[in-house]
């Protein structure tokens, strides 16, 4: 069995196991995701005030801002400060105490968990808040119909662990005519980004990036770059899609909720919010209620509004039960 086929099997199994383990199924209708009507409505409580600091994922930045806006409408005495410079900034901020919550577009690494546990004597807590299909974008006028993981690795990698050859022009990825000699212009995230790590692990099979990838500080910058570059090719969270770019099918499947969870679309992932909760104690009211809000019907409507895929009632309620 070739490396590409082996990787597809591993990814399909991984997303299925993740969905089953976390109860993260979504409600879908064809390609469109909808909010589960069984999700609980959020109920306002008393005693919620103060400042809530969020440091972490750029992918979740806009979603966090939308949640903050709605939450502050319910609790005017709450001030929410959001800094989205990449998932790798979340664990240090939680450890230092400069944030109460840490959005991450990937799970914490073992080294990050160990550092947290060394400081506090217990592990960090987390809730899954949404499903994302990490998208591969091209300029809207690019005629490409789709790419395989092997082709993506050929363009972005310097190590070619999926068995491909260097792809420098669009002709190397199957385009003909005037496009065959057009140079591929690569866009990606920087190493502080969880998106950078997820793409490296899956699309490059843990290989190394090519030196000519234009590393951007945020997902919106990636999409903006591709949208203004006819030869552009890059990746970011699907929620950052604009009219200037197209998201390509990967291995024959477009990015969607059902394709991501089934593993057919190989770049699916869970989006998390981490927080510090000492076992046996009550979680502070502001953090608790904000996280409960994200897992409510209104909170998951924000997920859909921002272009991501919501949790179903079973998955959301499983996480809500931890927030005490």
Burial class, 77, CB count within 10 angstroms (exposed 0-12 / middle 13-18 / buried 19+): exposed
Cβ(131)–Cβ(25) below 8 Å: no
Element (H, E) at 188: strand 185-189
Q: Are residues 201 and 258 in the same domain?
A: yes
The sign of the CA dihedral 24, 29, 31, 35 is negative
Q: Are residues 117 and 144 in the same domain?
A: no
Q: Are residues 137 and 234 in the same domain?
A: yes
Number of structural domains found in the chain = 2
Residue 80: which residues within 8 A CB-CB, separation 6 or more?
A: 51, 52, 53, 54, 68, 71, 72, 290
Cβ(226)–Cβ(234) below 8 Å: yes
How many Å apart are CA 80 and CA 83, to the nearest integer? 10
Give mean pLDDT, residues 131-141.
Answer: 95
How many Å apart are CA 210 and CA 154, to the nearest integer? 9
**Residue 4 confidence (pLDDT) above 50:** no
> How do residues 190-247 score in pLDDT, each as one tens digit?
999 999 999 999 999 999 999 999 999 999 999 999 999 999 999 999 989 999 999 9
Domain boundary among 249, 267, 285: 267
Confidence grade of residue 24 (pLDDT, cut at 50, 70, 90): low
Please report the pLDDT score of residue 196 as a whole number: 95
User: pTM (2 decimals)?
Assistant: 0.81
Domain boundary among 251, 267, 283: 267
Q: Are residues 275 and 176 in the same domain?
A: no
Query: What phi and psi, each to the nearest 5 degrees, are found at residue 216?
Result: -110, 150
Confidence grade of residue 6 (pLDDT, cut at 50, 70, 90): very low
CATH number at residue 273: 3.40.190.10
Cβ(267)–Cβ(118) below 8 Å: no
Q: Are residues 252 and 273 in the same domain?
A: no
Domain that holds residue 170: 133-267
Q: Are residues 316 and 251 in the same domain?
A: no
In the beta sheet, which residues pair with residue 34?
27
CB atoms within 10 A of CB 258: 18
Q: Are residues 67 and 16 in the same domain?
A: yes
Q: Are residues 147 and 231 in the same domain?
A: yes
Q: Are residues 234 and 287 in the same domain?
A: no
DSSP 284: P
Q: Are residues 121 and 172 in the same domain?
A: no
Token duo for residue 114 = 């160990």
Q: Are residues 200 and 189 in the same domain?
A: yes
Cβ(151)–Cβ(251) below 8 Å: no
Q: Are residues 166 and 144 in the same domain?
A: yes
**Residue 157 confidence (pLDDT) above 80:** yes
């Amino acid at each position: 069995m070739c490396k590409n086929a082996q990787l597809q099997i591993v990814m399909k199994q991984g997303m299925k196991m993740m969905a089953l383990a976390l109860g993260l199924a979504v409600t879908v209708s064809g390609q469109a995701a909808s909010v589960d009507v069984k999700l609980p409505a959020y109920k306002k409580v008393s005693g919620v005030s103060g400042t809530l600091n969020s440091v972490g994922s750029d992918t979740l930045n806009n979603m966090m801002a939308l949640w903050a806006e709605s939450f502050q409408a319910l609790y005017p005495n709450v001030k929410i400060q959001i800094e989205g410079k990449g998932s790798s900034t979340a664990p240090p901020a939680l450890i230092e105490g400069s944030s109460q919550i840490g959005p991450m577009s990937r799970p914490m690494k073992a080294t990050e968990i160990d550092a947290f546990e060394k400081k506090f004597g217990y592990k960090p807590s987390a809730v899954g808040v949404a499903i994302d299909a990490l998208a591969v974008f091209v300029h809207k006028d690019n005629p490409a119909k789709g790419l395989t993981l092997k082709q993506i690795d050929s363009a972005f990698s310097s190590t070619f662990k999926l068995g491909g050859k260097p792809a420098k022009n669009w002709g190397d990825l199957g385009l003909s005519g005037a496009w065959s000699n057009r140079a591929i212009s690569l866009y990606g995230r920087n190493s502080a980004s969880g998106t950078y790590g997820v793409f490296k692990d899956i699309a490059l099979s843990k290989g190394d990036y090519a030196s000519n990838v234009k590393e951007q500080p945020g997902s919106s910058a990636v999409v903006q770059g591709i949208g203004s570059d006819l030869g552009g090719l890059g990746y970011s969270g699907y929620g950052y899609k604009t009219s200037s770019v197209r998201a390509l099918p990967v291995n024959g499947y477009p990015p969607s909720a059902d394709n991501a969870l089934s593993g057919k679309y190989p770049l699916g992932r869970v989006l998390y919010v981490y927080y510090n909760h000492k076992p046996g104690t009550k979680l502070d009211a502001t953090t608790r209620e904000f996280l409960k809000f994200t897992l409510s019907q209104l909170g998951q409507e924000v997920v859909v509004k921002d272009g991501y895929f919501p949790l179903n009632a079973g998955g959301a309620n499983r996480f809500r039960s931890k927030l005490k």
